[in-house]
C-alpha cells in the first residue's frame, strides 16, 4: 500500500459522494456491469414508451438519482429531460405542483434544453446510428428529430409556459394548461420527461409523499408526457403509493448487488479510473478489507433490495483517512 496513492485518492475526492444530479452521471456504473439485473435497460425502455408515471424504488442512498441521471442522459434527442424540484413547494397539491413545474420549464436556461440534445446527437454520430426511433414519436410541427431545438422553438415553449402560468390559477385550468405545455413538446416531435428526483426531501414528511402519489402522480397519469419519480422504499409502503401503483407505467426496483465484493470492486475501480488514480484496487484495499466493506453494504440491504451505496462509500473514505493517519 502506498501513501502516495492514498493521498491522491483523498486529494481527488475519489470516493466522495455528491448531491449534484448532473455529477452522478460520470460515476454511474450500469447494473449489468455490477452483475445485477439490467435496471438501466428497464428504466430506459419504460421511458421510451413515452407515457405515464414511472417509479424508481430504492432505500436511501441506494442509487435512485444515479440511475435516473445516467439513463436520462443516455436518451436520444427525441426525449427532453426536465428536472422539477419538489423542495419548497406543496408537492401533494397537484395545482401547486403543476404551477411550479410550469414555472421551472419557463425558467429553464436555454442551454439546459439544448445540451442533452447536442450530446445525444454527438453520440448518435459517433456510433454511426440513425436516430430513426425518434421519428416514431408523435409527428408534429416544424422541427424533426436530428435537429437541435432552435432558439425560436425554445422561445415558443417558454412563451407557452408563461401564458399557461397566468391561467393556471384554478385546478381545471392548471391541468389543461400543463397538457397544452406538454403538447408544445410533442408538436416539435419531442417527448417531455419530467424528473422528480429530490424526493429524499420528504423523509421527515411522509404525509407529503403520501399526498404526492395519491394526488399529483395520479393526476399526471392522465397527462400526455412521462414523469419519473425517485421513490424511497418507505414511500412505496404508503397508502397513497399503493393506490396509484397499478396505474404506473413501470416500477423499477433497485436490486441488491448479487456479488457484493465484485460489484463494489467495480464501483470503486470505476471511480479510481475517472479520477485518474492508477493502480489495482487491491493496492489500497486488501481482500479482507473489501470483504468487510461488502459486509457493511450487505448489512444495509433488505431481502433482494439494494443497499446504501452512499454509506458504503463513506466507510471507504473513513478507511482511507484511518490508513493515511497510520501509514508514514
Ligand X SMILES: Nc1ncnc2c1ncn2[C@@H]1O[C@H](COP(=O)(O)OP(=O)(O)OP(=O)(O)O)[C@@H](O)[C@H]1O
Residue 184's binding partner out of ligand X, Mg ion, none, with CB under 5 to 8 Å set by partner kind: none
Q: Where are the beta strands (DSSP E) in the chain?
A: 52-58, 79-83, 191-196, 226-232, 250-253
Task: Choose which of 200, 251, 269, 283 interacts with ligand X (CB under 6 A).
Answer: 200
Q: Which is nearer to ligand X, 28 or 190 (CB)?
A: 28
Give the interface segment with ligand X, choosing from 62-70, 108-116, 118-126, 145-153 (CB under 6 A): 62-70
Residue at grid coordinates 396505474: 247
At residue 3, φ and ψ (nearest 5 deg) are -65, -35
- Classify the phi-psi angles of 279: left when phi > 0, otherwise alpha if psi is within -120 to 50, otherwise beta: left
Residue 110 binds which entry of Mg ion, ligand X, none, CB below 5-8 Å type-dependent? none
Closest-by-Cβ residue to ligand X is 63
> Hey, which residues between 61 and 80 contact Mg ion (CB under 5 A)?
65
Could you tell me which residues come within 8 angstroms of residue 156 by beta carbon, excluding any fewer than 6 positions away? 184
* Of residues 18 and 162, the one with the C-beta less far from ligand X: 18
Q: Which stretch binds ligand X (CB under 6 A): 58-66, 100-108, 179-187, 282-290?
A: 58-66
Which residues, at least 6 apart from 212, have a Cβ–Cβ distance to it below 8 Å? Answer: 86, 91, 92, 97, 199, 202, 240
Q: How far apart are the first and last CA of the chain?
A: 11
Q: CA-CA distances (angstroms) from residue 195 to 21, 192, 225?
A: 11, 10, 11
Pattern 22-51, ligand X, x by CB under 6 A: --x--xxx----------------------
Closer CB to ligand X, residue 137 or residue 316? 316
Which DSSP symbol is given to 130?
Answer: -
List contacts with Mg ion (CB under 5 A): 65
List contacts with ligand X (CB under 6 A): 17, 24, 27-29, 58, 60-66, 200, 230, 232, 267, 309-310, 313
Amino acid at each position: 500500500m502506498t501513501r502516495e496513492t492514498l493521498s491522491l485518492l483523498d486529494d481527488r475526492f475519489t470516493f466522495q459522494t455528491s448531491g449534484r444530479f448532473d455529477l452522478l452521471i460520470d460515476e454511474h456504473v450500469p447494473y449489468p456491469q455490477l452483475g445485477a439485473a439490467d435496471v438501466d435497460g428497464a428504466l430506459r425502455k419504460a421511458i421510451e414508451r413515452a407515457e405515464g408515471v414511472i417509479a424508481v424504488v430504492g432505500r436511501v442512498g441506494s442509487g435512485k438519482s444515479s440511475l435516473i441521471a445516467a439513463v436520462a442522459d443516455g436518451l436520444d434527442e427525441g426525449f427532453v429531460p426536465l428536472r422539477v424540484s419538489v423542495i419548497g413547494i406543496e408537492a401533494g397539491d397537484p395545482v401547486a405542483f403543476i404551477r411550479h413545474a410550469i414555472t421551472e420549464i419557463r425558467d429553464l436556461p436555454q442551454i439546459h434544453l439544448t445540451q442533452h440534445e447536442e450530446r445525444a446527437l454527438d453520440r448518435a454520430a459517433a456510433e454511426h446510428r440513425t436516430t430513426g426511433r425518434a421519428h416514431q414519436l408523435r409527428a408534429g410541427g416544424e422541427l424533426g428529430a436530428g435537429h437541435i431545438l432552435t432558439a425560436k422553438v425554445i422561445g415558443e415553449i417558454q412563451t407557452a409556459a408563461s401564458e399557461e402560468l397566468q391561467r393556471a390559477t384554478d385546478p381545471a385550468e392548471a391541468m389543461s394548461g400543463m397538457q397544452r405545455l406538454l403538447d408544445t413538446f410533442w408538436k416539435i416531435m419531442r417527448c417531455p420527461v419530467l424528473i422528480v428526483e429530490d424526493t429524499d426531501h420528504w423523509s421527515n414528511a411522509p404525509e407529503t409523499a403520501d399526498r404526492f402519489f395519491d394526488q399529483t402522480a395520479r393526476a399526471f397519469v392522465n397527462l400526455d408526457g412521462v414523469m419519473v419519480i425517485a421513490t424511497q422504499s418507505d414511500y412505496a409502503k404508503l397508502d397513497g403509493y399503493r393506490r396509484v401503483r397499478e396505474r404506473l407505467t413501470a416500477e423499477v426496483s433497485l436490486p441488491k448487488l448479487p456479488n457484493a465484493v465484485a460489484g463494489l470492486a467495480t464501483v470503486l475501480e470505476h471511480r479510481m479510473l475517472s479520477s485518474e488514480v492508477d493502480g489495482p484496487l487491491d493496492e489500497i484495499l486488501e481482500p479482507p478489507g473489501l470483504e468487510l466493506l461488502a459486509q457493511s453494504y450487505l448489512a444495509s440491504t433488505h431481502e433482494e433490495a439494494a443497499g446504501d451505496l452512499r454509506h458504503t462509500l463513506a466507510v471507504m473514505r473513513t478507511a482511507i483517512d484511518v490508513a493515511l493517519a497510520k501509514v508514514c
